[in-house]
Structure 1
Amino acid sequence: MSAMGRVVRSGVARRRVQTVVIALATMMAVTASVLGGSLLAASSGPFDRAFAQQHGAHLTAQFDAARTTAARLMASAGATGVIAAAGPFPTATAAPRDVAAEFDLPPMTIVGRTTPDGEVDHVSLSQGRWVNGPGQIVLSADYPVGPSPLDTDLRFPDLPGQPTLTVVGVARSVGRTADAWASPSDVAALTAPDATGGYQMLYRFAEASTAAHVERGQAAVLALVGSPALLGAQSWLTIKDASEREVALFLPFLVAFGALGLVMSVLVVGTVIAGAVGTATRRIGVLKAIGFTPVQAVRAYVAQALIPATVGIAAGVVAGNLLAIPVLADTDQLYGTTTTGVTWWIDAVVVAGALGMVALTAWAAALRAGRLRTVDAIAVGRTPRPGRGRWAARLTARLPLPRSVSLGLAHPFARPARAAAVLAAIMFGATTVTFAVGVAASLNRVQIAKDHAAADVVIDTFAPPRGTGPAPNTAPRALSADDTAKVTTAIQAQPGTAEYYRVATTQVAVAGMTGFARLDAFTGDASWGGYEMISGRWFTRPGEVTVPSTFLTATGTRIGDSVVLTDHGKAVPVRIVGEVLHPTNNLLVFADAATFAATKPNLTAASYHIRLADGVDVSEYLTGLNSALATSGFTAASEQSTGGSSTIVLLDALAALLTLMLVAVAAMGVLNMVVLDTRERVRDLGIHKALGMTPLQTIAMVIASVLVTGLAGGAIGVTAGVAVHRAVTPAMGDAAGTKLPTSVIDVYQPTMLLLLGLGGLLIAVAGAFLPAGWAARTRTAVALRTE
């Protein structure tokens, strides 16, 4: 082995702690970088990627079978601008009933397809298999049913013979072309006797990037088929806008975490390498004295840094890919995409960047030592320059503290550069924790506001009867006057009722807009029901409405404007008085039910929300109310959150995972700096021990040396974390298409900020604990002989 090889090998083996710290620090940094980069890539254009993978339909058209023929529809594939088409597929609309649970499900549009693939709309299976014969059905992943519906029997009681189909699979269409798929023969059986049935055609156009392109393609198709045959059409751009609004919530979050992770990784790994090489100045002088040139000395120490770093990078890439697999699987389900793991170029970029950073940092630190004259390099001592930090030592000596603690408190001022590196690592760790806690708290408040779950007790009149188990989204029905009277009388007569309101839904048209808006009509004051206001106020009288941000954006209105809602052909003018927090992609209006008294809308899905008087026991109240409701068939239950949307749950999980890794990186940085400092001061520690310092006092001195930087880093980090949260959270709301009220952004309480600030101290103590134990175990004689 050459002399260079022996120097490199002995350096790596001799500095075991630094070697391990370099490997672990680079592993954590690379793991976080691979995971963050993969998530950022997965969040970049997810709909476009899924649409390309599934060859999605630019136009989904529904035709009346009585006004056209299958042959004519097949011929429409040759229309100008059409590059691919699929169909015609027979369609039917019917309302199923879950046989086992005995409750109704929402009406579904069923398409007859024998295979999930084709020239257009490659439907991807997420559970089970595709239909291979009659009596089977595949549900869309977007259809509101339980998470594992396989083998569920769905009966269609409104059709002759009450046909029953068994769920054999769950699939996702990026263009949301159907609620379910079945064999064409089953679709024919699901067509009502008085209905003519329909056909679905799926088209891809040569140009479809704008609404005008899609409209031009649709016009070319109708020129062959005939406009009267068209029952309805859906552009892929409409689905894209809704989908991207849902996933856009990720982007500001991932960019912020990615920036924090990148800065922290560069800082910690850089300081670890620089510190490891910088402490070898005297040894570099020895190498030069025995004949090594400056270039050889620099190369030797760059190699000593690259060996453990390479091991850490390799482990980090493996760990990052393994962690990314389940996380990307969740994001795939959220986005409707399909990936096989981390993109290869992300691994390549991270590996190249990490190796380059380690090599550059080690080269810069070793070059500085290599340029020193041999005698100067050998003469470099292990103690700081005379006079540095003496003022701090004199000041701490006057404090009423044990001498071991005061010595430790003064030490950072003797090594200001090293203390600054520790401070930076702790600061970024505290920033990450503060930001993650704030994001989680804000998302929780958004979910609570979306659930409007301020009531103590709720009665869902569209829930299944008691004893049938938990219900997914059930098909609503209109309440009779007798039902309403029974429920209202029971609530009013029950002792402990403070106040209540009733909310029911229907659909209304909005003047100047296509489609329908959902109307939530309230009876009673609902301002206390958890409806978080962004601006304006809650409606207080008939003729006033409160709407979410998406309604204002879609209609181009603002608070104070008037809009016309149409119900049963009758126009109802209303005035917008408030903007409420309710993340949704659909048009939604909150109004007093009396506003629509003249139109008598068919209100369905009614629920009653009850607030109890102070001191009333919820369980006792429920027992009494359910006894009174026994004859009505309805059931009261305590109000509970729905458990959060999949987007918010995934964001919380990612925040926890990335925070844990970045805090570990910060602790590694502290550990390395304290190890270097303890190694350099080993002879001083020997002197202290010779003068009577006990092992516990030694531990106290080493830990005290990071207390000041821990507290300062925690305070600065908390301030920075709050600032990052205030910048990122509104951006997340804007990306999701809604403004966020002050209550969602101002989530930090004084006690929380104090605890988060102490988190910096915990990071510092955690990083210093192991070196403190090593210093306490070092024998006095060994420490005194160390040079």
Structure 2
Amino acid sequence: MIRLALRDLRRRRTEAVLLLIAILAATTTLTLGLVLRDAAGDPYQSTRAATKGPDVVANAGQAAGLAELGKLATASGVTAHSGPYPVIAGKLEASGRTSDVQVEGRDATVAAVDQPQVTRGSWVSDGGVVLEAAFADSLDVGVGDSVTLSGRSFKVVGVAVTAAMPPYPGASCIVPAGCINGAIPDDRDLPAGMLHNPGLVWLTQAEARSLASDRSPLSYVMNLKLADPDEAQAFVDRTGGDHGGALPMQTWQNILEDATDLARDSQILLLIGAWLLGLLAVASLSVLVGGRMADQNRRVGLLKAVGGTPSLVAAVLLAEYLLVAVVAAAAGLAIGALTAPLLTESSAGLVGSAGTASLTWSTIGLVTAVALGVAVVATAVPAVRAARSSTVSALADAARPPRRTGWLITVSAQLPVPLLLASRVAARRPRRVVLAVVSIAVTVSGVYVLLVLNAFLGDQPGTGAYTAAQVETLRHVLLVWTVILLSLAAVNAIVITWATVLDNRHASALARALGATPGEMTVALAAAQVLPALVGAVLGVFPGGWALFAAINAITGGDSDKATLPVPWQLIAVVLATVLAVAALTSVPAHLGGRRPVIATL
């Protein structure tokens, strides 16, 4: 079976490559989505190790809370702590911009828990301020620059990273005034005193206290180290720090979630793209397998004539696609693991980089299972049908009798010759037409979502939900998704047209023998794909695109009311561009099929 499968793949190299591309696109994107989160978590773990990261961060909004913080330091399960450190809300002016900040007072000595690692310059000193690295990067401020903090001038003496708080702009709130991250709706005003996308800076304790006022009262923060870091949430629940308790607390797992928020968004986009590409791959393989089966009738007859049982014939036909699926899964795993770091560049607020993602056995198993599943779903039915066909009829390799539909003959007879032939070509394979419609609808649905997400990212640099660098990373993810989606859709259009050419070779030759010109046959074969493309494009816009966006919104917990949906002219342009692209892609195989020698075919 393996020998026969390999010989057939070598004999049809072009089709084997198309099969490989179809499955490879889905497996690569799925691998990217699965490993992205783990790859992005590495920099946070590096930061946590380098800075003696806390397991729990607790803060008290007033001086009376100091006693409660003191009790936490001696609570069961706590092995070390640092603080309480004073914290105040303030405003920082630098580079012509004013930003809300949380000012934390620290000691010049090294802390036992949460000692921010200085990446540039030095640690806090009198008259000097240290900025959180992602915040400094956003402001384009470096060591040696002067900034104004709550009306007083300070010199930037250092830039540092910490694992006790997510990098800017997703910083945790440790001041009593409260904070809000992300965009503020146009119809709402920020409550008085509340901070908007605050950054984090460090001063000496004495200077931090000197900035306190009635409008900016002191609050306190303490960092705790536990005997078992995995029990951080249980510790918070036990000490009453969650759900509006006396002392708000945050576990290191919560900080990790917020610190890798960008990677999670990228992962969601890629996983959704992977399932879309999986659907396209199934459609592509189904058509390609059907076309190959039509071209393998005589081979099936020969295998059965020399003693092959129907099960052996089906296994041989299925083995070809399973071999390609295994190769595509291996290649997709390798490409996805090596590409993931390019889409998860470490935030300026973390130490290290994503590096090469390690593939877990669960990821390898899932990607391989999806690749094999796609191959089996697409090939099982055609393979079994071919294996159960009559040996004599398979050896004869006769043309398939057309399905005569009275109303279609009546309607098509009134059409110009190319459209007459196109309608009858489409009617011969209704399931293939459905696959073509579904393929285009899936592609256009993806394009619809890409338009929405692109408009969303275009609004982000001014809202503070993402930094400019993070927006650029998400744009790279969308670009990967767009290129693979459109490439596979193009492969699908070519595969469907070529399968149609092969399946209609006898009918096309007969039409030409009765007077149809090669040009009319070319137009007919292309038009047979353009008409389903038009239907698929319309369905892809609505309800396909709208439903897909609603599903993404439900998964991510977003607010669809705030999304900028494509305007009508964009949707019309997408439909027209889809039809023109399909016409262009199908013209070459249609041209080749329309000029096949009539005598040789008949």
Give the TM bin, normalised by the shorter chain. 0.7 to 0.9
Shift of 1:719: 1.9
Distance change >3 Å, CA 243–CA 107, structure 1 → 2: closer
Quote the residue 1:493 is aligned against.
Answer: none
Quote the residue 2:576 is aligned against.
Answer: 758
Structure 1, unpaired ranges of 5+: 221-231, 452-472, 474-583, 585-642
The yes-or-no answer on 1:411 pairing with 2:425 is yes
Quote the residue 1:290 is aligned against.
Answer: 306
AA paired with 2:579?
L
Decide which of 158, 164, 174 is 1:167's aligned counterpart: 158
Whether the 8 Å contact between 1:389 and 1:411 is mirrored in structure 2 is no
Decide which of 704, 708, 711 is 2:527's aligned counterpart: 704
AA paired with 1:373?
S
Distance change >3 Å, CA 165–CA 314, structure 1 → 2: same
Q: Separation in 2 of the partners of 1:354 and 1:686?
A: 38
Q: Separation in 1 of the partners of 2:569 and 2:327?
A: 42
Shift of 1:171: 5.0
Decide which of 318, 329, 340 is 1:302's aligned counterpart: 318
Decide which of 697, 713, 719 is 2:542's aligned counterpart: 719
Quote the residue 1:429 is aligned against.
Answer: 443
Task: Write out per-residue CA displacement over residues 185-216 of structure 1, whole angstroms, 9 at most, x where no aligned residue.
Answer: x6667764999x99853124656458653447
The yes-or-no answer on 1:60 pairing with 2:77 is no
Query: Over aligned residues, Cα RMSD in angstroms?
Result: 5.3
Quote the residue 1:269 is aligned against.
Answer: 285
Q: Separation in 1 of the partners of 2:151 and 2:447?
A: 57
Q: Separation in 1 of the partners of 2:222 and 2:484?
A: 49
The yes-or-no answer on 1:84 pairing with 2:100 is no
Distance change >3 Å, CA 154–CA 38, structure 1 → 2: same
Task: Write out per-residue CA displacement over residues 148-179 of structure 1, whole angstroms, 9 at most, x where no aligned residue.
Answer: 4343423679999x763433445564365896
Q: Equivalent residue of 2:223, what SS?
A: strand
Shift of 1:726: 6.4
Task: Write out per-residue CA displacement over residues 291-333 of structure 1, whole angstroms, 9 at most, x where no aligned residue.
Answer: 3333432332223223333333333333333443222337x67
AA paired with 1:785?
A
Q: Separation in 1 of the partners of 2:404 and 2:37?
A: 46
Quote the residue 1:10 is aligned against.
Answer: 7
Shift of 1:26: 0.9
> Which structure features the higher share of helix residues?
2
Q: Separation in 1 of the partners of 2:39 and 2:383?
A: 40
Decide which of 581, 586, 595 is 1:768's aligned counterpart: 586
Decide which of 14, 17, 25 is 1:20's aligned counterpart: 17
Structure 2, unpaired ranges of 5+: 175-198
Q: Separation in 2 of the partners of 1:103 and 1:665?
A: 46
Quote the residue 1:316 is aligned against.
Answer: 332
AA paired with 1:752?
Q
The yes-or-no answer on 1:375 pairing with 2:392 is yes
Q: Separation in 2 of the partners of 1:244 and 1:395?
A: 63
Whether the 8 Å contact between 1:324 and 1:342 is mirrored in structure 2 is no
AA paired with 1:416?
P
Q: Separation in 2 of the partners of 1:249 and 1:670?
A: 31
Shift of 1:20: 1.8
Task: Write out per-residue CA displacement over residues 744-769 of structure 1, whole angstroms, 9 at most, x where no aligned residue.
Answer: 57x35443333333344245335423
Quote the residue 1:29 is aligned against.
Answer: 26
Shift of 1:25: 0.7
Distance change >3 Å, CA 174–CA 362, structure 1 → 2: same
AA paired with 2:17?
V
Q: Separation in 2 of the partners of 1:109 and 1:326?
A: 34
Whether the 8 Å contact between 1:138 and 1:171 is mirrored in structure 2 is no
Shift of 1:133: 8.7
413-422 or 696-705: bigger deviation: 696-705
Whether the 8 Å contact between 1:90 and 1:188 is mirrored in structure 2 is no
Shift of 1:287: 1.7
Whether the 8 Å contact between 1:7 and 1:300 is mirrored in structure 2 is yes
Larger radius of gyration: 1
AA paired with 1:706?
Q
Q: Separation in 2 of the partners of 1:683 and 1:394?
A: 22
Whether the 8 Å contact between 2:448 and 2:541 is mirrored in structure 1 is yes
Quote the residue 2:138 is aligned against.
Answer: 146
Instruction: Name the TM-score, length of structure 2 as normaliser.
Output: 0.72
685-694 or 672-681: bigger deviation: 685-694
Q: Separation in 2 of the partners of 1:201 and 1:16?
A: 65
AA paired with 2:437?
L
Quote the residue 1:502 is aligned against.
Answer: none
Q: Separation in 2 of the partners of 1:107 and 1:302?
A: 63
Aligned positions of 1:183-198 closer than 5 A: 192=210
Q: Equivalent residue of 1:706, what SS?
A: helix
Q: Separation in 1 of the partners of 2:86 and 2:530?
A: 71
Distance change >3 Å, CA 359–CA 438, structure 1 → 2: same
Shift of 1:56: 3.8
Quote the residue 1:631 is aligned against.
Answer: none
Q: Separation in 2 of the partners of 1:772 and 1:153?
A: 66
AA paired with 1:60?
A
Q: Separation in 1 of the partners of 2:538 and 2:211?
A: 73
Task: Write out per-residue CA displacement over residues 585-620 of structure 1, whole angstroms, 9 at most, x where no aligned residue.
Answer: xxxxxxxxxxxxxxxxxxxxxxxxxxxxxxxxxxxx
The yes-or-no answer on 1:395 pairing with 2:411 is yes
Q: Separation in 2 of the partners of 1:66 and 1:306?
A: 68
Quote the residue 1:785 is aligned against.
Answer: 600
Distance change >3 Å, CA 282–CA 95, structure 1 → 2: same
Q: Separation in 1 of the partners of 2:532 and 2:23?
A: 23
Distance change >3 Å, CA 377–CA 325, structure 1 → 2: same
Q: Equivalent residue of 1:81, what SS?
A: coil
The yes-or-no answer on 1:740 pairing with 2:561 is yes
Shift of 1:350: 0.9
Whether the 8 Å contact between 1:405 and 1:704 is mirrored in structure 2 is yes
Shift of 1:22: 0.5
Whether the 8 Å contact between 2:46 and 2:351 is mirrored in structure 1 is no
Q: Separation in 2 of the partners of 1:134 and 1:300?
A: 75
Shift of 1:724: 0.8
Decide which of 238, 248, 273 is 1:213's aligned counterpart: 238
Shift of 1:284: 0.8
Q: Separation in 2 of the partners of 1:763 and 1:40?
A: 35
Distance change >3 Å, CA 725–CA 386, structure 1 → 2: closer
Quote the residue 1:515 is aligned against.
Answer: none
Whether the 8 Å contact between 1:152 and 1:166 is mirrored in structure 2 is yes
> Which structure features the higher share of strand residues?
1
Shift of 1:285: 0.9
Shift of 1:667: 2.8
Shift of 1:714: 1.6
Whether the 8 Å contact between 2:116 and 2:160 is mirrored in structure 1 is no
Whether the 8 Å contact between 1:440 and 1:652 is mirrored in structure 2 is yes
Aligned positions of 1:93-492 closer than 5 A: 101=95, 108-112=102-106, 120-121=113-114, 128-129=119-120, 131=122, 138-141=130-133, 143=135, 146=138, 148-154=140-146, 164-171=155-162, 173-174=164-165, 192=210, 201-204=222-225, 208-209=233-234, 213-215=238-240, 234-236=248-250, 240=254, 243=258, 257=273, 259-277=275-293, 279-329=295-345, 339-340=354-355, 341=357, 343-344=359-360, 345-359=362-376, 361-381=378-398, 383-388=399-404, 392=408, 395-399=411-415, 401=416, 403-441=417-455, 443=456
Instruction: Report the count of equivalent residues.
Output: 558
Shift of 1:413: 0.6
Instruction: Name the TM-score, length of structure 1 as normaliser.
Output: 0.57
Identical aligned pairs, as a percentage? 20
Distance change >3 Å, CA 728–CA 39, structure 1 → 2: farther
Aligned positions of 1:451-600 closer than 5 A: none
Quote the residue 1:488 is aligned against.
Answer: none
Q: Separation in 1 of the partners of 2:382 and 2:443?
A: 25
